[in-house]
Amino acid sequence: MFESLSGRLESIFSKLKGRGKLTEADVDAAMREVRLALLEADVNYKVVKEFVATLKARAIGSDVLDSLTPAQQVVKIVNEELTTLLGTTESRLPMASQPPTVVMMVGLQGSGKTTATAKLAYHLTKQGKHPLMIAADTYRPAAIDQLVALGDENKIAVFSTGGRPEEIVAAGLKQAVRQANDVVIVDTAGRLHVDEDMMSEAARIKSVAKPHQILLVVDAMTGQDAVNVAESFKERLDFDGLILTKMDGDARGGAALSIRAVTGRPVKFISLGEKVDSLEAFHPDRLASRILGMGDVLTLIEKAQSVSDEAKAKALTEKLRRQEFDLEDFLDQMRQLRNMGPIGQVMKMLPGVSNIPGMKKSEVNDSDIKRIQAIIESMTPRERQQPSIISGSRRQRIAKGSGTSVTEVNQLLKQFEQTKKLLKSMTQMTGKRGRRGMFGNMF
C-alpha cells in the first residue's frame, strides 16, 4: 500500500533534511517533486494542483523557512495536509437510534461488495453487534451461495430467499426485527460498468431498504477509474461513504488520495486482503503518517491488543520500567508480532523500520524472524540480558554460530536498541496519561 509514493516522498524529504537552512527555491523544487510523485501515484490532477498550491502557501512562509528545523516543518505541513486530503477525522459508521441500522452495499461487479459485506459484519460482531446479512444479488447465479457460505464460515446470520431483490430485502428486514439483529447489511448486484439496469435496481432496493448508510465499494487498484465510478454513483444514487478494497495490491494509492476530494464523501473502511478480518477502519491521520514513513503505531497497538496476553503485558511493562528489557524479550516480541498476521504489514507500521536494510518494504518475512532467532540463540544468557557487553569478537562468534554475518548481528542489535527506545517512550507516554495498559497490553 502506497509503497512507491512513500518511497518517493521519503527521498524528497531526506534530501531536504540534508540541507539544513532552506531557501524559497529549495522548497519550490521540493514541491515540484512532490507534485510529480503524486501524479505518478495516479492522484487526480486537479487534486494534485490544489494540494501542492496549499502546501506551497504554507511552506514558503517565514515561520517555516526561518525556523530552526525547516525541513521538519515542511514534513509536518505535508503530513497535516495529507491528513486533510484523506479526510481529517476518522470515519465511523453511525448507528441508528432505532435499530436495526440498515447498511446498503453498492458497487461494480468484482469490486468486493460481497466479501466486504461479510468483512463489515465480522468487524461489527467484534464490537458486540449482531448483524444480519441480506443476499439481494439475484443477478449473478452464485452470488447468494457465496454470501451464505461466508455467513456459515464466520457464524454470521444470512437471510436469503427467492424473488426480486426488493422483495428479498423487505422479507429480510422483517426477519431482522424478529431476530433482534441490530445491524442489517444488504449485499446487492454489481454490473461490469455503470449502467441504467444497475442504477434502477439499486434505487428500487434503496426505496425498500431505506438504508441509514449507503456504502460504495470500489476497487482501489483501478485508480482513477474508481474515482470516476464514484462520481457516477454520486450523481445517480448518492452514497454516504466508501469502502476501498484491494488496498493490499495498490502500490500507488491514487484512488485513496483523490476520491474524497473529488466526491466529497469520506472513506470509511479499507480492505487489505481476501480474508474476513482484513477490513480496517479508515484513519486519515494514521494513513498519512504511514505514507510519510512515520509509522502507524496506533494501528499496530490495536492489532497487538487483539492477540495480547495480559500477564505477559504486565511483565513487559514492569521490565521496561526497571530498564530490564533484554534480547530475550525482544525475541519474544518478534514471535508475538508474527502472530499478528502478515508480518510485513505489521512491521511497516513501526516508525523507522522501513529504513532498516533487509527490512525494507514488505520483505520482512518468517525467514527474517528465523534469522533473528538464530542470532539471539547463538548468544550466551548474559549477552542476551546485557547486550552492551557484546564486543566485536563476540559479534564475530555470534555471526558464525548463527550462520549469519557480523553486519546482520549489528543490524539486529541496532534494531533492538530502537525498539527498546520506542517501547520506553510509549510506556512513558501512556503512564503520563494514567492509562494502564494501552501499550502494556501489547505483548
Ligand X SMILES: Nc1nc2c(ncn2[C@@H]2O[C@H](COP(=O)(O)OP(=O)(O)OP(=O)(O)O)[C@@H](O)[C@H]2O)c(=O)[nH]1
Q: Kindly list the residues in this chain that would bind ligand X in the complex (CB under 6 A).
A: 107, 109-115, 137, 140, 143, 189-190, 245-246, 248-249, 271-274, 278
Q: Which one, 113 or 252, has the nearer CB to Mg ion?
A: 113
Residue least distant from ligand X (Cβ): 190
- Alpha-helix runs per DSSP H in 219-361: 224-236, 254-263, 284-291, 297-306, 310-321, 327-339, 343-348
CB of 278 to Mg ion, least distance (A): 17
Q: How far is 149 from 114, CA to CA, in rounded Å?
A: 11
Residue 201 contact partner, candidates ligand X, Mg ion, none, CB within 5 to 8 A by sort of partner? none
Q: Which residues bind Mg ion (CB under 5 A)?
A: 113-114, 143
Q: How far is the CB of 254 from ligand X (least distance, A)?
A: 16
Cα 273 vs. chain centroid, distance in angstroms? 11
Strand partners, 281: 269
Contact 284, 90 (CB under 8 A): yes
Between 259 and 316, CB nearer to ligand X: 259
Q: Write out 54-90 in H/E/C secondary structure.
A: HHHHHHCCHHHHCCCCHHHHHHHHHHHHHHHHHCCCC
Which burial class, exposed, middle or buried, applies to 348 when counting CB atoms under 10 A from its CB (0-12, 13-18, 19+)? buried
CA 38 to chain centre: 19
Q: Indicate which of ligand X, Mg ion, none lies near residue 111 (CB less than 5 to 8 Å, by partner kind).
A: ligand X
Shortest gap between Cβ of 168 and Mg ion (angstroms)? Answer: 14
What is the rounded distance in angstroms from the CA atom of residue 353 to the CA atom of residue 376?
Answer: 19
Residue with Cβ nearer ligand X (349 or 412): 349
Least Cβ distance, residue 132 to Mg ion (angstroms): 17
Beta pairing, strands 241-245 & 213-219 = parallel
- CB 112, min distance to ligand X, A: 3
**Closer to Mg ion by Cβ: residue 1 or 143:** 143
CB of 121 to ligand X, least distance (A): 13
The residue among 35 and 206 lying less far from ligand X, judged by its C-beta, is 206
Identity of the residue, 73 or 188, whose beta carbon is nearer to ligand X in the bound complex: 188
The DSSP-derived string for 334-394 is HHHHHHTS-HHHHHHTSTTGGGSTT-SGGG--HHHHHHHHHHHHTS-HHHHH-GGG--HHH
Return the number of the residue (113 or 286) whose C-beta is nearest Mg ion.
113
In whole angstroms, the minimum distance from the beta carbon of 116 to ligand X comes to 6
The single residue listed with the C-alpha cell 542476551 is: 384
Q: How far is the CB of 148 from Mg ion (least distance, A)?
A: 12
| Least separation in angstroms between CB 211 and Mg ion | 17
Pairing of strands 267-271, 279-281: antiparallel
Residue among 73 and 115 whose Cβ is closer to ligand X: 115
Q: Which of 73, 50, 51, 48 is nearest to 61 (CA)?
A: 73
Residues 32, 41 contacting (CB under 8 angstroms):
no
The sheet with strand 279-281 has its strands ordered as 157-159, 131-135, 183-187, 101-106, 213-219, 241-245, 267-271, 279-281
115 binds, among Mg ion, ligand X, none (CB under 5 to 8 A by kind): ligand X
What cell was used for 420? 527498546
335's grid cell: 514471535
Which C-beta is closer to Mg ion: that of 113 or that of 397? Answer: 113
Q: How far apart are the first and last CA of the chain?
A: 26
Partner whose footprint covers residue 238, from Mg ion, ligand X, none (CB < 5 to 8 Å by kind): none
- Choice between 222 and 263, CB closer to ligand X: 222
For residue 131, the partner it binds in Mg ion, ligand X, none, with Cβ less than 5 to 8 A by kind, is none
Instruction: Tell me the closest approach of the beta carbon of residue 96 to Mg ion, in angstroms.
Output: 24
